[in-house]
Amino acid sequence: MHALLLWLLAASSPALGVESSPALAELEEQGRSHLYNLEYEDARLVFSSLAELAPHSPVGPYYEATTIWMEELARRGGMNGSTFRTGRYWSENRHEPPAPQLDQEFKDLVADAVKRAEATLAREPGNTDALYFRGAAEGVLSAYYAMIERSYYSSYKAGKRAKKYHEQLLEADPEYTDACLLLGIYEYTVATLPRTLRFVAFLIGIAGSHEKGLELVRKAVEGGDRTRWAARLSLAVMEQREKKYRRSLAVLRELEAAFPKNPLFPFERGSVHMLRKYWSTARRVFDEVRRNQAAGKPYFDAIEPSLVLLKIAESHLFAKNFRRADDNLRRALEIPDIPDYIKAVIFLRRGMVSDATGHRDRARADYRRTLTLNVDKLTNKRARRYLAKPYR
């Protein structure tokens, strides 16, 4: 079937412009399906084939770059809702520069997508697909600068360029709802910046709106084609920030049904139940993820096993089942090569368990271990608070 599809593409793709055909659209959809199921290697193979079969189209190199960004972000522990909901990822003290080869490959692919889109726009200034991918390339570059390089000014500049192209696109074609996603994320992100950063953004002429951001993202959910799944994931996180937990759960269930191989969606569903303080419901979800990991189910290794045990422990801790919380924290610490950003929280939670059960000296020792690891400001703040005053 795959070979037949490639043959159809080679036979039907136009020679100029942003190539378009039903077979090309099907291949693009196939690649996105692999991507959202965390099948990164398969996704890259499809997008690489697409780039060769449609040599004037920015679609292939754009999605290849997106795949590299998503895989690297997942490796760093950033592919979950808490990254965007709590800001912990942004406040981490660690900074791991990207591998030079990966960095060059990603930026070469973005440059290729830009070059192809601009060449089409030079020939056809009104080509909406080319305009879309011109902005989308800047969008994924902005995300990479922010989340991989931690270069926030570079991210702002690329994001501003992305916003400009997608605003132009919507002015030319208000029905091109895929362009609403990037603009909605931009609006919402600026509106939810910490107060000091929001003031700086205001001074340099950047405004944002919760309401407008949510409205634009919902438009992408309802009418988008390329962005309909990314828009749903964005909406699920935004609804959590707005404390609309049932709405977020409904979107997550839709994503789980569409991409059953992706363990991040059930894991995120468990996290939403934690936000609702439905401790036992959350625990059942995390237990299911843990069982799938133990059974070696494909792609469930995308979630760090110690993180799953930590979440199970937290569901016991907050339900005041301290013995079970302590047992799961002990099991988590027995897993080899735990990332420091998880280990620090495990020590914090173990200190809280010790405080709750009257073992103050042990609690202090664990809070100090958390501070020694020095992974992020939020975790450090909590450790200092409980060092000064026991957790109850």
* 213 and 309 co-located in one domain: no
Q: At which of 235, 262, 289 does a domain end?
A: 262
Please, are residues 162 and 116 in contact by the beta-carbon 8 Å criterion?
Answer: no
pLDDT score for 193: 63
SS3 label, residue 158: helix
* 229 and 188 co-located in one domain: yes
Measured from the Cβ of residue 130, the count of other Cβ atoms closer than 10 Å reads 26
Per run of 10 residues, the mean pLDDT along the chain (length 392 residues) is: 32 42 87 95 96 94 97 83 57 77 98 97 94 97 92 88 95 96 88 56 56 94 94 93 95 96 95 97 97 92 94 98 98 96 97 98 98 93 97 92
Residue 45 Rama label (left phi>0; alpha psi -120 to 50; beta): alpha
* 202 and 241 co-located in one domain: yes
Cα–Cα distance between 95 and 216 in angstroms, integer? Answer: 33
* 250 and 298 co-located in one domain: no
CATH code for position 222: 1.25.40
* 273 and 241 co-located in one domain: no
Q: Which tokens in the block code for residue 41?
A: 């290697």
* 335 and 204 co-located in one domain: no
* 119 and 133 co-located in one domain: yes
Q: At which of 214, 242, 262 does a domain end?
A: 262
pLDDT score for 202: 44
Cα–Cα distance between 175 and 183 in angstroms, integer? Answer: 14
pLDDT score for 187: 86
Q: At which of 105, 138, 173 does a domain end?
A: 173
Cα–Cα distance between 352 and 190 in angstroms, integer? Answer: 34
* 132 and 225 co-located in one domain: no
pLDDT score for 21: 74
* 28 and 91 co-located in one domain: yes
Cα–Cα distance between 259 and 94 in angstroms, integer? Answer: 32
Would you state the torsion angle of the CA atoms of residues 135, 137, 139, 142, taken in this order, to the nearest 10 degrees? -130
pLDDT score for 114: 98
Measured from the Cβ of residue 239, the count of other Cβ atoms closer than 10 Å reads 21
Task: Give how many domains the chain has, as a whole number.
Answer: 3
* 295 and 257 co-located in one domain: no
Please give the model's pTM, rounded to 2 decimal places: 0.86
* 47 and 151 co-located in one domain: yes
* 278 and 332 co-located in one domain: yes
For every residue of 2-19, DSSP letters joined together read: HHHHHHHHHHH--SSSS-
Nearest to 310 by CA among 74, 77, 72: 77
CATH code for position 352: 1.25.40.10
Tell me the residue range of the domain where 273 lies. Answer: 265-392
Cα–Cα distance between 251 and 217 in angstroms, integer? Answer: 13
pLDDT score for 91: 58
